[in-house]
Amino acid sequence: MTAVDFVPFVERLAKLSAETIMPFFRTTFAMEDKSGGGVFDPVTEADRAAESAMRRLIGEVFPNHGVIGEEFGAYAANSEYVWVLDPIDGTKSFISGLPLWGTLIGLLHKGAPCYGMMNQPFTREKFYGDGRAAHWEGRGADGVPATRRLLVRPCASIDRATLMTTSPKLIPEALRPRYEFLEAKTRLTRYGGDCYAYCMLAAGHVDLVVEAGLNAYDIVALIPIIEGAGGVITNWEGGDPSKGGAIVAAGDKRAHEQALAALREGA
């Protein structure tokens, strides 16, 4: 099977997760802090319910597939196909009533990302890609459903770049000087966004997204979207980003190379 063969099933997962999550959004719901006394890391009833529903459907349809999820860990993670799920990426925005969150559904084939979707059910948007092409699906200004190809924009120099990160405070202290050195070289910085920032990069509205301390479930689904839109995504050393860690994504290879150089110089 190829990634294309799984597209209808990804749509089923997106629909199921949306139906599970949306009754909670902008309502009163139970919430816990799973940080253990560190930086506030909330988890909600919606996170757990949506991941449970998706894992159950995967088990019914593809019992030989593995699953890695934020809330319930890894199952059969060495399988040929492994689903990587983050039911609500951007939980802090979710609990604040902001729409800058999304459900991440990624698929690994033999350990490599081969398909990914970010579904934002409140704005009724989907961003998806297979590493060769990426698309946005939503509603146009006239309210009519629309689909368009995602393409990054050129950015020859980071001094002309718009950079996004969810929050500098989420970058480990040991790495923060490197990030701050890079940020000082860019034209505009915006905070917040989580997975939505990466999708805005793929859509050609942002030039760089730089973060650290990520897990696989934070990034696997986004890699095929960014690469399918023509972008570049690696760790800070220029290596494989699929395991998470410190990540730099760029719409233009030139900006990516300059960002890596700045991160090295800022060490």
| pLDDT of 101 above 80 | yes
Burial of residue 207 (CB within 10 Å: 0-12, 13-18, 19+) is buried
Supply the pTM of this predicted model.
0.95
pLDDT digits (tens, 9 = 90+) for 19-71: 999 999 999 887 888 877 677 788 899 999 999 999 999 999 999 999 999 99
Q: Is residue 98 a contact partner of residue 208, using CB atoms and an 8 Å limit?
A: no
pLDDT at residue 1, as a whole number = 61
pLDDT at residue 81, as a whole number = 97
Secondary structure of residue 153 in the 3-state scheme: coil
Q: Which residues have C-beta within 8 Å of that of residue 163, sequence separation ≥ 6?
A: 182, 183, 186, 188, 189, 190, 206, 207, 208, 209, 210
Distances (CA, A) of 236 to 27, 168, 231: 38, 15, 15
Question: How far is the C-alpha of 209 from the C-alpha of 247, rounded, in Å?
Answer: 8
Question: What pLDDT band is residue 123 in, cutting at 50, 70 and 90?
Answer: very high
> What would the mean pLDDT of 68-90 be, rounded to a whole number?
97
pLDDT digits (tens, 9 = 90+) for 210-267: 999 999 999 999 999 999 999 999 999 999 999 999 999 999 999 999 999 999 999 8
Question: What pLDDT band is residue 134 in, cutting at 50, 70 and 90?
Answer: very high
Question: How far is the C-alpha of 134 from the C-alpha of 227, rounded, in Å?
Answer: 8
pLDDT at residue 4, as a whole number = 63
Q: What is the mean pLDDT of the chain?
A: 95
How many Å from the N-terminal Cα to the C-terminal Cα in the chain?
Answer: 44
The total of other beta-carbon atoms located within 10 Å of residue 239's CB is 10
Q: How many residues does the chain have?
A: 267
